[in-house]
Every structure is written in structure tokens, then in C-alpha cells.
Amino acid sequence: MIYVRRSAAVVLFFILLLVLSAFGLLAFRDGQFDIIAAAFGIGACVLFVTLYNVAKTVFRHIDRYVLIICIFLTGIGFIMQYRLNPEYALRQIIMFAIGIVALFIAIAAVKKAGNFGKWNYIFMAGVLGLLLLSLLFARVIGGARNWVQILGMSMQPSEFAKVLFIVTAAYFFSNKNRIASILPFLLFSAACILVLVLSKDLGAAILYALTTLVMFFAGTGRALLTLAGMGILSAGAYASYRLFPHVKTRVDIWQNPWVAERTEGYQIVQALMAIASGSLFGMGLGLGSPASIPASYTDFIFAGLCEEFGIIAGVAVILFYLLFVLRGALIALNARTLFHQLLVFGCTAMLCLQCFVIIAGVIKMIPLTGITLPFISYGGSSMVSCMALVGIIEGVAVKNGEYDEKKIESIGGAVL
């Protein structure tokens, strides 16, 4: 019996078609042929094809469709960023290349190391260190104190910390089956969230808190304690609404952005109008005015996407994130140890929550908290950390594939 892994070559071909045609169009935006846009499009395609082929050759059992979804979203991101600001797109493609390295390192690390054992305590110290670093040394951008300048480059340490955070969470929730022994980790995550709230990085704080909660539930299966945790979170959210004026502003704008249309509510109002003017099929690439939305290339990129590609494409992008979650869940279900199950589940949950928090914020479903849209938004730290999360998922997929292959070989079959 031969089990043939489905190739993703057809899908990759469609992605290349999309990216090349979009950059072909963008090249003629100013009336004459812009060689840089064409070169950028071809460069991105070469990078995608190389990544796909190298990954599936080096790690035979990689989940090809998780990788393809992440390539597709990155491609859409490149198109939007080049359209908004070619300079940022160039920086983003470099960060994507660095992200590929992070992806391979993560796959290799998950494949090699068991559950990282004592390393988890070092990871914990690393997470707290990174978060404190941003609290103490960071510059304030957009109300949040989360940018650190290192060697002339701005970085967001909370982005890198979240990768290690998930590894430690998976370790503690899987290794310790008594609640008392999970307690130190819960205190640790409470400390992380507190530091994030103090640095006014609310998006990351919500992300860490919700990820801890869903991983706690998945790991221990205790519904009552999870509900209690939700209660504590709600109380904390309410307290920060009372204590911090900028949280209160966010909620007020969410309830009615139109009263402050020219001031605090400007961003959301612009985003809503952009999405509305895009209608079903969009205004056409390069014909909208997404640049009028503040932060259109990072947090609000979804609004720009809907304006130029239309709501159908916007919904399709959300569906791609859902498919990503689905495939992540399948990998988690097939994983052989609780640690690996929780690891994949945590990574998937974090990426999914991140999408939800920012997309729902942009379309005014929940109060806005600024975080990046994974793979699409401009942001080097975000790109690298998302690729590392994908790497962890793929690493477990490779492990699953090896177990499956052994099983199939034991009855005389093979995996191709």
C-alpha cells in the first residue's frame, strides 16, 4: 500500500500567477514601466518556489498546505505593502527571508529536542527578560511601549517572546498533571501579562492571556477553572478600563467612532469607509486610497485589502486563516505526545487569536487593540515570529509523518 502525499504544486502555480499579475499591474501604475516592481514580483516568486521545494525536500513529511497557506498570505502581504509603500515591501521581503531561516531552525529544534526539559526555565527567564526589556527601554509608538532599538533596528521583543512562551506553556500543561504544580506557570504568565499591560501593549496582553487560557483548558480539561480564569480576565479587563484612560478611549471609540470622526475615531472611521467603498469586488489594485487610513500597512492592512480587492477577497483571506487553524488542529490531533499536541495547539491558537483580535478590531466588532495581522502586515518581528510558530507546527507535522511512515512500512507500504 502506497500513501502518496498530495503535491501543492498547482496551488503554488496559482499563487505565482496572482503575485506576478499583481506586480505586473503595479509596474505600470505611474504610466511608465517600473522595473523595480517587476523585479520585486519575480524575486518574491523565486523565494516562494525555493522555500516550498527546499522545505519539502529537506523535511519529507512537512505539511505542505500549511506552508502553502502561509506563502499565499505572505504574497498578498507583499502586494499590499508594495502598493502602499515600496520601501517597506523591500524591507519586508528581507524579513521574510530571515523568517525562512527561523522556520527551518524551529522545525529542526522541534524534531530534535523532546520537550526541551530544563531549557524551559531558561525560556521563562528569556520571556520575562524580553518583556521587561520593552517595558524599560522601549520607545512609545502608537500609545504602546513595545519598540526597542537594537543596532539601529526597531524590534518588538514581545513578538519573539510569544514563541518561547508557547513552548513553556506546552511543557508545564503537559508535564504536570496536578494543578498545584501548574501554579508557578500561571504566576509566570500573570507576570508576563502584567508587564505587557504596564507597557500598554494591550494587544499582546490579550493574546498572551487568551492563549494561556485555551492551552490550560486543552491541557487539563478543567472547565470550571477555565471559567474562573475567564472571570479573572474579565475583571482585569474591566479594571484596566477603569484605570487606564487610553483603554477607556478605545472602548468609547468602539462604541461610537463617528462622534470623534476627525480625532480619536479617525482610524476606525477611515477603515470602515475603505471597506465599504471596496464593496464586493474592490476598487481595483492601486485605485483605492488605503493610504488615508493611519497604519494602513501594518495593523489596518485588512481594511486596505478589502478596499482594493473587495470583501470577497477579504472573506477568502479569513477562510485561509480558518483552513490554517483546521490543518493545525489536525496536526495537533495526530501528534503522539501531549506536549507536542499542546505545542501545535498553542501555536495555532495564538495565530488564530491574533487574526481575530485585529480583524475584528478593524471591522469594529470588538474594541481595537493594535497587533499585526500574521504574514500580511508589515513588521519584521511579527514576520519572523509567525514563521517560527509555523516552523513549530511543521516540526510536529514532520514528527507525525515519521511515525505514520514507520507504521505504514510495518505492513509493507511506503510513503511517497
Partner 1 sequence: MQIYEAVAYAMRYWFVLVILAILLCVIVVSIVEYRDRKKVMANAESHIGYMDVVYTAANNLEEGDRFALAKSNIIGSSASCNIVINDRDVMKKHVKINSKEDGVYVEVYAPNNTQLNGRAVKNEEPVFSGDILLMGNTALMLHIKEEEA
Residues that bind partner 1 (CB under 8 A): 1, 3-6, 8, 10-11, 14-15, 17-18, 21-22, 25, 28-29, 31, 65, 68-69, 72, 281-287, 308-310, 312-313, 316-317, 319-320, 323, 326-327, 330, 404, 407-408, 410-413
C-alpha cell at 230: 475567564
Burial label, 256 (beta-carbon count in 10 A; 0-12, 13-18, 19+): exposed
Is 28 or 137 the residue whose CB approaches partner 1 more closely? 28
Question: Residue 70 or residue 268: which is nearer to partner 1 going by CB?
Answer: 70
Nearer to partner 1, 140 or 287 (CB): 287
Shortest CB 413 distance to partner 1, Å: 7
**Least distance CB 325 / partner 1 (angstroms):** 12
Contact 92, 376 (CB under 8 A): no
Cell numbers found for residue 162: 510569544
- Cell 529542526 sits on residue: 108
Torsions phi, psi for 306 (to 5 deg) = -65, -35
Radius of gyration, CA atoms only, the chain = 22
DSSP tag of 259: G
Q: How far apart are CA 329 and CA 317, in angstroms?
A: 18
SS3 content of the chain, % helix, strand, coil (to 5): 75, 5, 20
Tell me whether residue 72 or residue 96 sits nearer to partner 1 (CB atom).
72
How many C-beta atoms lie closer than 10 Å to residue 98's C-beta? 13
CB of 392 to partner 1, least distance (A): 20
Q: In what order do the strands lie in the sheet with 153-155?
A: 139-141, 144-150, 153-155
How far is 207 from 196, CA to CA, in rounded Å?
Answer: 10
Shortest gap between Cβ of 282 and partner 1 (angstroms)? 5
* Smallest separation, CB 385 to partner 1 (Å): 24
CA dist 329 and 305 (Å) reads: 27
Nearer to partner 1 by Cβ, of 168 and 341: the residue is: 341
Nearer to partner 1, 159 or 308 (CB): 308
State the cell numbers at 399: 514528527
CA-to-CA distance for 348 and 396, rounded, in angstroms?
Answer: 12
Question: Which triple of cell numbers denotes residue 361?
Answer: 478590531
Report the alpha-carbon distance of residue 73 to residue 390 in Å, rounded: 13
Residue whose CB is less far from partner 1, 57 or 410: 410
Residue closer to partner 1 by CB (options 209, 283) is 283
Cell of 94: 528581507
> Residue 188 contacts by C-beta under 8 Å, 6 or more apart in sequence?
124, 127, 128, 168
Smaller CB separation from partner 1, 231 or 284: 284
Tell me how far, at minimum, the Cβ of 341 lies from partner 1, in Å: 17
Least Å distance, CB 120 to partner 1, is 32
Q: How far is the CB of 84 from partner 1 (least distance, A)?
A: 15
Q: From the CB of 352, what's the least distance to partner 1, in Å?
A: 16
For the bound state, the minimum distance from the C-beta of residue 344 to partner 1, rounded and expressed in Å, comes to 16
Residue placing its CB nearer to partner 1 in the complex, 32 or 57: 32
